Amino acid sequence: SPGGELINVELIIANHQLNLLTRDADIAIRHVRPEQQDLICRRVGGLPFGLYASDGYIEEQGVPSLENLSAHWFVDGVVAPRFARQAERLGYRIPRERFLFRSDSFIGQLNAAAAGWGIAGLPVHAAATRSGLRRVLRDAPVNELEMWLVARAELRTTPFLKHTFDALGDLLNGFAAEVCEFAA
C-alpha cells in the first residue's frame, strides 16, 4: 500500500447499482457506462459472450438454429434480461414462456444451462471451463459484456483512492485482454 496506509476491501456483489454519490462504495465495477455527471469512469475492457446449451439439452431438443429458435427453451436474467433484449433487437421475439429459468446470477444461469434447462448467454471464459456445455448459434451476433470502473469525481484529489482506481483498472484491463485471447 502506498505510504504504508492500510486498505480495507469489501467486495459487494449485487444485482443493483450501489450509489457512489452517497458513499455506498468508493469504487465500483459496472457492466454499463454510468450516466451520472458527478462520476468518473474508465472502460476496462469487455468479456466475450457466447450462447451455450448442454449436451443433454441438444440431444433432447435438437441443435438450435436461428430458423428454429422459437421451439427452444432459454435461460436469462430477471432484472437484466440481456438474452431477450438482444434477440429482440435482432428481430427475434422469443415469447416470455420460452424462458424456463431466470436469474441475474451468471453462476445460476451457468448451472441452469449445464442442467439442460435451456440455452443461455454466458461469458465465454466461464462456460468454456464447464464440461458438458457446448457453444451453439455461433452465427448469432452476441454482444460482449462491458466492464467499467467507476468512482466519485473527488477520487482525483485523494491520492490513495486514485492509486487504487488506477491499479484496479490496469488489473481488470489485463484480465479482459486475457479472456479475449482465451475466447478467440
Average of pLDDT values for 124-141?
87
Average of pLDDT values for 68-83?
87
pLDDT of residue 44: 85
Stated pTM of the model: 0.73
Q: pLDDT category, 178, cuts 50, 70, 90? A: low
Listed range (27-41, 48-62, 67-81, 100-114) with the worst mean pLDDT:
27-41
Which region, left, alpha or beta, applies to residue 3 given φ > 0 means left and ψ of -120 to 50 means alpha?
A: left
pLDDT in tens, 144-159: 778 888 888 887 788 8
Residue entry with cell 485471447: 181
Residue entry with cell 424456463: 100
Residues 30, 152, 168: CA angle, nearest 5 degrees = 55
pLDDT of residue 101: 93
Distances (CA, A) of 55 to 29, 51, 160: 33, 13, 49
Helix or strand (DSSP H, E) at 136 = strand 133-136
Q: pLDDT category, 102, cuts 50, 70, 90? A: very high
Q: Average pLDDT over the chain, rounded to whole? A: 82
